[in-house]
Amino acid sequence: MSEEKTILNTSNQAEKAEGMITHILIFLKGMAMGIAEVIPGVSGGTIAFITGIYERLLNCIKSFDFKLISTLKEEGLAGAWKAIDGFFLVRLLGGMATGVIVGVLGVTFLLEQYPEPLWAFFFGLILASAVYIGKQIEQWSIVPILCLIVGTVVAYGITTLPMGQGSDSLVVTFFAGAIAISALILPGISGSFILLLMGMYTIIIPTIKTALKTFEVDAIIVLLVFGSGCLLGLMTFSRVLSWTFQNHKNKTLAVLTGFMLGSLNKIWPWREPVDVITTASGKEKIVTERNLFPEAYEQIAGNESHLMLCIVLFVVGAVLVLGMDYYGAKKEEAA
């Protein structure tokens, strides 16, 4: 009898430990998404996809609708909490909020001081992610191939658009949030890059820093308006993506793979500014830029390419994704 109790206790302890690991992993996945969204050219949706939580996230967001009100009335808070996958959502959002803070305060420093190695890491990460997503397509035919081409061309075209001037209008801020958050859940298209195109990145990111450091009322108001726009965009676009996954999964995956391939143009480590303007605050802002090979980057742009370090970090980024793919496949085989 005591032996059975020992086995039962050991089993319960193992389940608790596994549950704790799951909680931590979801938090870390959310943190990675938050960091990615601060970096122009890297999509939080990409991170969600390669970490295996993409469709669960879409379903979670989609659950916020009028049906939730009736669920709340009929089944109470417990039923509503279950309907929105509350535990998952809280862990993920907590991680994302932490990731945004880390990204704003830390990754932006790396972008300023060591841009080439950081971009090389993300280039490897996203290239391997495109391979990973493409592998999920169950059957290739002419239609998925065309979807892949269209996705690639559209994403590449977006990366070549000149940056906008931006506006501190609260109305513009609201709609910037709605549009940028749609890109958050779209692998291959970065929400922060969309903000760059709209000219809002240099407005929103400093505002986040100000709100975090000084809690100024004006900065907090801007963040609340931006957040409200994000909420509207999230509720709307998640339903569109969820429907396409349910009804046209192969085509959707092909388009998303194309988005990621096309977005690589923006993540190339060695870039030279072509058109630079000076903002009203006196800061220089890059409007357009061109990609260079490492040797030309050193000769023309006059910057160190850090080629060997970039190659190493490119491989590290690719191995991270392919390693997760391999681990996931092994886990499925074991199950």
pLDDT digits (tens, 9 = 90+) for 209-253: 777 777 788 888 888 888 888 888 877 887 888 888 888 889 988
pLDDT digits (tens, 9 = 90+) for 138-162: 888 899 999 999 989 988 887 777 6
Cα–Cα nearest to 195, from 219, 220, 161: 161
Overall number of domains in the chain: 1
Q: Is 196 helix (H, G, I), strand (E, B) or coil?
A: helix
Does an H or E element contain 278, and which?
strand 271-278
Query: For the chain, first and last CA: distance in Å?
Result: 30
Do 31 and 92 touch, CB atoms closer than 8 A? no
What are the distances in angstroms from CA 132 to CA 112, 255, 275, 298? 30, 13, 35, 33
Q: Is 139 helix (H, G, I), strand (E, B) or coil?
A: coil
Residue position matching structure tokens 């886990």: 331
For the chain, percent of residues with pLDDT exceeding 70: 80
- Higher-confidence position of 280 and 298: 298
| pTM for the full predicted model | 0.69
Q: Is 268 helix (H, G, I), strand (E, B) or coil?
A: coil
Q: Which domain holds residue 123?
A: 2-334
